[in-house]
């Protein structure tokens, strides 16, 4: 590392050192770097620092409380010899698993609350935040959805194989190493307030409910429970047919109802704190109640009634769409709104942040706030299926903050998505939020060091949906990269870590999502990815044997007149699924925000934008700006080599190099393709493409290798 090399140069007499204090500072840096060695990221934001003695006073013998006391003793970084009191007792200011902190005490009404309070206390120490606070969770259920398959693979997983399942022949074996890994996973979740985990893919395999798998699920649940993490399962609606050999899975059939009641009884017999089911039904080929001319409410309520005696919940996904040429973005609202108020109170409709599918930018789903009599929970995607996988540096907290702060206007001005889903406006027996996990067996858990920040951000926002992304990024950087062996004063005097690393890297994180939108699909463009793995551009992909709503031209609608999906009242009328004044705002081409323009409008290439540019020139500007920003990220990271251990520095540097290359591919591919419709020249001073269109149409954008088939129509 550059800083280490400089230190050695100075200490060897290669330069002037003005004081003994300067020598001490240099030695501290070298010692810290030597002890840290090459970090592989496995410690996440819980990296072990120097242990300082502390006295913990606690009268509770509850196992989770004692675990919390141990965390405090083993990770204290305050003044040595202090006395901290932990109290397990209620207070009118404490809600659920919330807690009260003072500089010398932690109080909570539940053992889990004590554990969360301890982790928060330790985080505040390391981040030098005020330790006097009352903190209550925004959502009662804060859940990670693992899209893990029973053969160990992960759908949309970019960090290796599953931490829960292996290949079929070895899937049910449990080792001491497994338990150690699950415990580290549960501890990481508890440290940011996550209290639930769905262990398998929403595209669920029925065998997950068989007796042999339930034995392993019990083993997993026994470990996760230590840190207050409840176990949930995704279930296949057709399980009574596949496992029970019934002739039907009709949710109103008495035999089917009885089968599910018996199966749920079996689950709670071995896992008494089981959380409930996540269900994907009548979506992308999955079985569901509509197969039997029943409604989503019929299906969800069957599960809810069977789970109710045990306190379980049903998370019923609203991700539904059919193969039609109408407007996929409208279907979830159309299917679920007629049944508002007909779902049991232990059913929560799980809604993706946007109306299509985890896109880099979408307007919020109109179901948020519209369903006033039904519990609704946001679903985020932490794993970056559409946002550069584990390669592109994209801090997703800004995307989620944008959603949570979006005003639905459903009850009144200020009816944000956060307030419409966390119980602030509408009474909900259960509140919940879910994130599709980005966790696998890679040593750094997430496939990329900076992708750890998205796991961290989800937990922090699930606990407090009013936090700012700036605060979250600041915390994560301090916890993940700060040299723990040096005090704040030493850091400042030695190499100004705050100004030279923290500030610029934090700024890069906060800009990264907008930068990615610019070089991928600006101004409301969406779903124009390569067909293979949703990576790289593919606006040209439209084979005749693929359903139309799985092809990019369905979404961008580029033609000789313009580009964009017409969702105004003269088009699909998706705008009227939103409450006023949003419906009128989105409907007007002059009032629609630029960031959603091509989402709601088919706009002429020559349309004059607010910037004074034509739409075509504006698109070119955004793509160029996105590419240049990634180049700047790459240059910035090169300047911080002295503040990061060598392994993580090189890993990030390598991925930024690939991201920079891919941004060029996105810019060239999209604009050259759209230029075949606009017939307009690139604006003066605009950087010309590096690649040509026929080449980009013929390659896999992830590997840059030739495809065995043609992407052309």
> Which amino acids are annotated catalytic?
284, 357, 385
Report which of 512, 534, 552 is spatially closest to residue 659, judged by C-alpha positions. 512
How many whole angstroms separate alpha carbon 32 and alpha carbon 644? 11
Cα torsion at 291, 294, 300, 303 (round to 10°)?
-80
Report the DSSP pairing between strands 699-700 and 105-108: unpaired
Report the Cα 90 to chain-centroid distance in Å. Answer: 33
Answer for the pair 582, 590: CB distance below 8 angstroms, yes or no.
Answer: no
Q: What is the helix (H) or strand (E) element at residue 297, kind and residue range?
A: helix 296-307
Answer for the pair 112, 130: CB distance below 8 angstroms, yes or no.
Answer: no
β-pair partners for 390: none
CB atoms within 10 A of CB 229: 28
Cα torsion at 387, 441, 400, 652 (round to 10°)?
-60
Answer for the pair 259, 246: CB distance below 8 angstroms, yes or no.
Answer: yes
Alpha helices per DSSP H over 428-587: 452-463, 469-481, 488-495, 497, 503-520, 553-556, 582-587
Report which of 268, 259, 351 is spatially closest to residue 308, judged by C-alpha positions. 268
How many whole angstroms separate alpha carbon 439 and alpha carbon 444? 9
- End-to-end Cα distance, the chain: 50
Report the DSSP pairing between strands 432-436 and 375-381: parallel
Residue for token pair 């017409």? 566
Q: What is the helix (H) or strand (E) element at residue 197, kind and residue range?
A: strand 196-198
Query: Phi and psi (nearest 5°) for 154?
Result: -130, 125
Show the CA angle centred on residue 167, arms to residues 163 and 168, nearest 5°: 125
Residues 6+ apart with CB under 8 A from 418: 138, 404, 405, 424, 465, 466
Residues 6+ apart with CB under 8 A from 525: 555, 556, 563, 564, 598, 599
Show the CA angle centred on residue 194, arms to residues 74 and 417, nearest 5°: 140
Residues 6+ apart with CB under 8 A from 438: 157, 158, 159, 382, 383, 384, 390, 446, 447, 451, 454, 455
How many whole angstroms separate alpha carbon 231 and alpha carbon 164? 12
Sequence-ordered strand ranges (E) for 334-457: 347-352, 375-381, 432-436
**Residue 88 Rama label (left phi>0; alpha psi -120 to 50; beta):** beta
């Amino acid at each position: 590392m550059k800083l280490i090399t400089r230190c050695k140069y100075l200490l060897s007499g290669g330069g002037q050192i003005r004081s003994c204090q300067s020598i001490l500072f240099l030695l501290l840096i070298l010692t810290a770097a030597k002890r840290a060695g090459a970090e592989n990221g496995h410690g996440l934001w819980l990296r072990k620092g120097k242990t300082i003695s502390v006295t913990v006073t606690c009268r509770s013998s509850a196992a989770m409380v004692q675990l919390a006391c141990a965390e405090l003793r083993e990770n204290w970084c305050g003044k040595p010899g202090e006395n901290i009191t932990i109290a397990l007792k209620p207070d009118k200011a404490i809600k659920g698993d919330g807690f009260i902190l003072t500089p010398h005490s932690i109080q909570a009404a539940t053992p889990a609350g004590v554990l969360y309070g301890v982790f928060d206390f330790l985080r505040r120490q390391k981040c030098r935040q005020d330790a006097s606070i009352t903190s209550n969770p925004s959502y009662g259920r804060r859940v990670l959805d693992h899209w893990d398959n029973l053969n160990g693979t992960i759908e949309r997983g970019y960090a290796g194989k599953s931490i829960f399942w292996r290949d079929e022949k070895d899937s049910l074996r449990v080792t001491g190493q497994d338990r150690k890994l699950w415990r580290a996973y549960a501890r990481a979740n508890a440290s940011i307030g996550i209290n639930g985990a769905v262990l398998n893919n929403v595209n669920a395999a029925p065998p997950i409910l068989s007796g042999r798998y339930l034995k392993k699920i019990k083993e997993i649940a026994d470990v996760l429970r230590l840190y207050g993490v409840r176990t949930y399962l995704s279930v296949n609606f057709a399980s009574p047919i596949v496992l029970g050999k019934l002739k039907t899975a009709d949710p109103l059939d008495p035999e089917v109802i009885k089968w599910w009641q018996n199966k749920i009884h079996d689950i709670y017999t071995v896992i008494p704190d089981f959380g409930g089911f996540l269900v994907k039904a009548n979506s992308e080929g999955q079985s569901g109640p509509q197969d039997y001319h029943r409604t989503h409410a019929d299906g969800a309520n069957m599960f809810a009634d069977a789970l109710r005696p045990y306190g379980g919940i049903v998370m019923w996904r609203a991700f539904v769409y059919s193969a039609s040429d109408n407007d996929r973005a409208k279907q979830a609202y159309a299917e679920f709104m007629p049944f508002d108020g007909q779902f049991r109170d232990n059913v929560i409709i799980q809604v993706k942040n946007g109306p299509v599918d985890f896109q880099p930018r979408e307007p919020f789903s109109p179901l948020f706030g519209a369903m006033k009599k039904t519990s609704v929970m946001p679903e985020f995607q932490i794993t970056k299926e559409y946002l550069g996988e584990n390669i592109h540096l994209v801090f997703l907290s800004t995307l989620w903050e944008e959603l949570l702060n979006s005003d639905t206007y459903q009850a009144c001005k200020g009816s944000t998505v956060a307030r419409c889903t966390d119980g602030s406006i509408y009474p909900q027996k259960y509140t919940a939020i879910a994130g599709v996990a980005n966790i696998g067996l890679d040593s750094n858990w997430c496939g990329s060091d900076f992708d750890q920040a998205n796991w961290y951000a989800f937990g922090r926002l699930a606990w407090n949906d009013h936090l700012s992304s700036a605060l979250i990024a600041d915390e994560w950087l301090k916890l993940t990269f700060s040299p723990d062996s040096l005090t704040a004063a030493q850091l400042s005097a030695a190499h100004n870590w705050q100004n030279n690393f923290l500030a610029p890297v934090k700024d890069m994180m906060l800009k990264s999502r907008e930068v990615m939108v610019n070089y991928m699909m600006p101004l409301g463009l969406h779903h124009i990815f390569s067909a293979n793995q949703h990576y790289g551009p593919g606006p040209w992909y439209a084979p005749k044997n693929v359903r139309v709503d799985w092809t990019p031209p369905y979404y961008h609608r580029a033609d000789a007149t313009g580009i964009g999906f017409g969702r105004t009242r003269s088009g699909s009328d998706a705008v009227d699924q939103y409450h006023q004044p949003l419906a009128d705002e989105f409907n007007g081409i002059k009032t629609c925000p630029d960031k959603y323009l091509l989402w709601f409008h088919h706009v002429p290439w020559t349309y004059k934008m607010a910037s004074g540019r034509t739409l075509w020139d504006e698109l070119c500007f955004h793509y160029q700006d996105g590419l240049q920003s990634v180049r700047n990220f790459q240059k910035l990271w090169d300047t911080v080599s002295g503040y990061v251990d060598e392994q993580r520095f090189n890993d990030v540097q390598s991925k930024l190099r690939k991201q920079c290359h891919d941004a060029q591919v996105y810019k060239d591919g999209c604009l050259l393709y759209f230029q075949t419709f606009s017939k307009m020249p690139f604006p003066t001073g605009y950087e010309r493409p590096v690649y040509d269109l026929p080449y980009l149409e013929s390659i896999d954008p992830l590997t840059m290798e030739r495809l065995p088939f043609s992407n052309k129509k």
